[in-house]
Chain A
Amino acid sequence: MSATSASRSVAMGKGAFASLRYRKNRDRVIELLLLACALVAVFTTAAIVVILVWESSFFFEHVTIKEFLTDTMWTPLFADAHYGILPLVSGTLTVTFVALLVAIPFGTIIAIYLSEFAKNRTRETVKPILELLGAVPTVVYGYFALLMVTPVLQKLIPDLPGFNMLSAGLVIGLMIVPYVASVSEDAMRAVPRYMREGSYAMGATQLQTAMRVVVPGAFSGIAAAYILGISRAIGETMVVAIAAGMQPTLTFDPTEPAATITAYIVQVSLGDLPHDSIGYQSIFAAGLVLMLMTLVFNVLGFFLTRKFREAY
């Protein structure tokens, strides 16, 4: 090896080391940038909590927690103002209940059918199409509820008012069917094949295997699907704002019109309330209640899904 080529390779080596140090430093900086982006999720959650608590704290300067939780009227925008959240909560729960009456049976049957009975090809074609149902904008579902479902229901129940919680609930139920079906189906498919084969070997039919082996085996996953469905129904806004009416009423009768928490927030936002008015602050208090209600279900759902992933 000649002297010149040796020195050249040394020089190259130095360059390579310098560049390696540069590249490693660059990696470090990029890693921090990526971490910062990932932390946006944490900051968003923190900001939601801070903003809701901060803005409602002004509301609770005017209104005692006792009045908020026990008064049976919600009329913050009237001269005779009452600040009881119960009518909004009753509306929310009634709509959610109606929605679940549709979503749970339909979603579960579709999930069992797709997971245990349908051929692979059918499943692969149907699942994406079913997910389209969940992709329809909620304002379109609102149109559907008010102008198509309500007139049909009025033929069945003649004195049904034009705005009612029944039609809003039914349409929300239809809206979350794909979600419930898809999460439950994933849970059922996670049940190992040998458990089914054991059941078949004992002479059970497909339906018996599905009902007595697969469904109990996937129980926590299916429960998670229901719970996440509930949290979606509670948070759904446009369908109720369009089809269920805007009048806060303490009732659990789905054939009556009533406002939900979300519909109230929309109603206030449509008006032009000044920043420091009690009406403006009341939507944050309502939002805080909504957030707490969905949070309970989300946390429950999170732990249930984690459990079923660990089960096998």
Chain B
Amino acid sequence: MAAVMDFEELRRGLYWRKNLDKLFVVLGLFILLSCLGLLAILFLDLVRDGAHRFGWDFFTQFPSRKAERAGILSAWVGTSMIMLVTALVALPVGVAAAIYLEEYAPKNWVTSVIEINVTNLAGVPSIVYGLLALGLFVYQFDLGQSVLSAGLTLALLILPIIIVGTREALRAVPKAIREAAYGLGATRWEVTKDHVLPYSTGGILTGLILGLSRAIGETAPIITIGALSFIAFLPGSPITGEFPFLNFDWLKSEFTAMPIQIFNWVSRPDQAFQQNAAAAAAILLGMTLLMNAVAIYIRFRFRKKINW
């Protein structure tokens, strides 16, 4: 008799436990979808609030005291120039550091110190990079509150992202490829340059784009080094009509950037400026999401294409 009762109890317990399983799946899905839903609501709301500001004028006007006449010209030009400096500095340094750690580094204390530092830097708050840049670039190196200072700061900030991304890409190249090249008499650098690097282009590109998408939205460090929120001129053009056709004055120019402009507009009590902020934020968010989508696509393509 007792055995039958136990069986009944077991069945009831099992029923209850299996329902708990289903309940958890529903809960998990619900939380997951509400997080994604909030992202969608955020984006739609920005577009709705800023909708009437989208237009050619918004991109070609300088900031203004009148909300309807204000535009993001100096902001997007500033952001593009900073991104150019950031990419040109962070890509070579980051890739080289990753190659060293992955292909060359002996197992010793220097290597572990470097590795710990890369991990730690990824967790340093971005505003601390701003303080570093303020003390080091702006005052010690006397670069001023310039495009160059901002670009270098953001380059340091995204260095860990590029290093980690590149290392993953390098690690994915099978040993056999390296051994084959060594077998033909190639030196380590030749193996790296001619065989390992070409196979890791996809991963490196992904890391670079993800890094830049982080840099483009960073506000705190460039506020700290002294970006201005009201700039009604453009830095000199990098390309000129006269010999030597390149001009580096823009590096020393004062600047503003997209996130700074958004922060400035959102902090004003006037609702018209907050709509400007929404429009600019929608553009910035759109660019970030686009860059991330491109990075994911490249990763996907390269993974599919390469069959070791």
A residues near B, CB below 8 A?
A: 23-24, 26-27, 30-31, 33-35, 37-42, 44-45, 47-48, 51-52, 54-55, 106, 109-110, 112-114, 117-118, 126, 128-133, 135-140, 142-144, 146-148, 174, 177-178, 205-208, 228, 231-232, 234-238, 241-242, 262, 265-266, 269-270, 275, 283-284, 287, 290-291, 294-295, 297-299, 301-302
Contact = CB atoms under 8 A, between A and B. Distances in A.
Contacts of A38: 96-97, 100-101, 105, 114
15 contacts: A34-B99, A37-B94, A47-B132, A106-B35, A135-B289, A137-B259, A138-B220, A140-B285, A143-B277, A178-B35, A231-B123, A235-B128, A242-B267, A265-B130, A294-B124
B137 to A, nearest CB: 10
Given A106-B31, A237-B219, A27 B187 contact: yes
B296 interface: yes
Contacts of A109: 27-28, 31
Contacts of A126: 32
A276 to B, nearest CB: 10
A233 to B, nearest CB: 10
A284 B163 contact: no
Contacts of A238: 219-220, 259, 263
A113 B29 contact: yes
B100 A37 contact: yes
A234 B125 contact: yes
Q: How large is the interface on B (under 10, 10 to 19, 20 to 34, 35 or more residues)?
A: 35 or more
Contact of A302 (B119, B125, B289): B119
Contacts of A143: 46, 262, 266, 277-278, 281
B25 interface: yes
B97 A269 contact: no
Contact of A207 (B17, B46, B121, B223): B17
Contact of A147 (B100, B187, B274, B292): B274
B123 A137 contact: no
A275 B138 CA distance: 10
Contacts of B31: 106, 109-110, 113
B148 interface: no
B77 to A, nearest CB: 18
A113 B34 CA distance: 14
Interface stretch (B176-184, B195-203, B210-218): B210-218
A139 B125 contact: no
A269 B223 contact: yes
Given A130-B36, A174-B35, A265 B278 contact: no
Interface string B128-145: 111110111001000000
A205 B127 CA distance: 46
Contacts of A31: 100, 104, 188-189
A283 B229 CA distance: 20
In this complex, which of B31, B100, B125, B288 has the most chain A Cβ atoms within 10 angstroms of its Cβ?
B125
Interface stretch (B37-45, B232-240, B241-249): B37-45
Interface string B281-308: 1001100110010001000000000000
Contacts, number: 257
Contacts of A297: 123
A101 to B, nearest CB: 14
Contacts of B117: 41-42, 44-45
A109 B29 CA distance: 9
Main secondary structure of the interface of A (DSSP, over half): helix
Given A38-B97, A139-B281, 17 more contacts: A37-B93, A41-B121, A41-B160, A44-B117, A109-B28, A132-B289, A135-B214, A137-B259, A137-B288, A140-B284, A206-B21, A235-B126, A238-B259, A265-B130, A287-B127, A297-B123, A302-B120
Contacts of B173: none
B5 interface: no
A235 B285 contact: no
- Of the candidates B17, B46, B263, the one having the most CB atoms from chain A within 10 angstroms of its own CB is B263
B189 A117 contact: no
A41 B187 contact: no
Nearest to A118: B28
B190 to A, nearest CB: 7
Contact of B219 (A112, A138, A235): A138
A112 B92 CA distance: 39
Identify which of B124, B190, B229, B288 gathers the most chain A CB atoms within 10 Å of its CB: B124
B1 interface: no
A106 B124 CA distance: 24
Interface string B30-64: 01100110110010011000000000000000000
B114 A133 contact: no
A140 to B, nearest CB: 5
A272 B124 CA distance: 25
A283 B123 CA distance: 20
Nearest to A141: B42
A146 B216 CA distance: 21
B97 A40 contact: yes
Contacts of B25: 113, 117
B123 A298 contact: yes
Contacts of B156: 40, 44
B46 to A, nearest CB: 7
A130 B284 contact: no
